[in-house]
Each structure stands twice: as structure tokens, then as C-alpha cells.
Amino acid sequence: MYHVTSRGNGRTEIYLSDNDRSMFLDVLKHVIGRLAGDVTPTA
């Protein structure tokens, strides 16, 4: 996950603006919340 949120292909920026980044994080929070009950930790 770190790599996906750090940079794009060829180290290009993946967010067009601060608002773009904020919208991505909002969607990510929503998805994590929906999947929280479906995630099973593995050891």
C-alpha cells in the first residue's frame, strides 16, 4: 500500500492536487470501513 500512495509509474505524481489526494483518502477510508469485517489476519 505504501508504494501505491507514494508515487506512480516512473516515479510520477499520482495526485493532481491536494483536493485529489483528499478525495482518494476519503474513498480509502470508506473501503477499509466496509472491508473491516471481511479481513482475516494471517500469521
| Domain housing 19 | 2-35
User: Number of structural domains, the chain?
Assistant: 1
Residue 43 inside a domain? The answer is: no
- CA dist 37 and 39 (Å) reads 6
Residue 42 inside a domain? The answer is: no
Q: Is-contact 6 15, C-beta < 8 A? A: no
- CA dist 13 and 15 (Å) reads 6
Q: 4-34 pLDDT, tens per residue?
A: 566 777 878 888 899 988 888 888 888 888 8
pTM of the model: 0.58
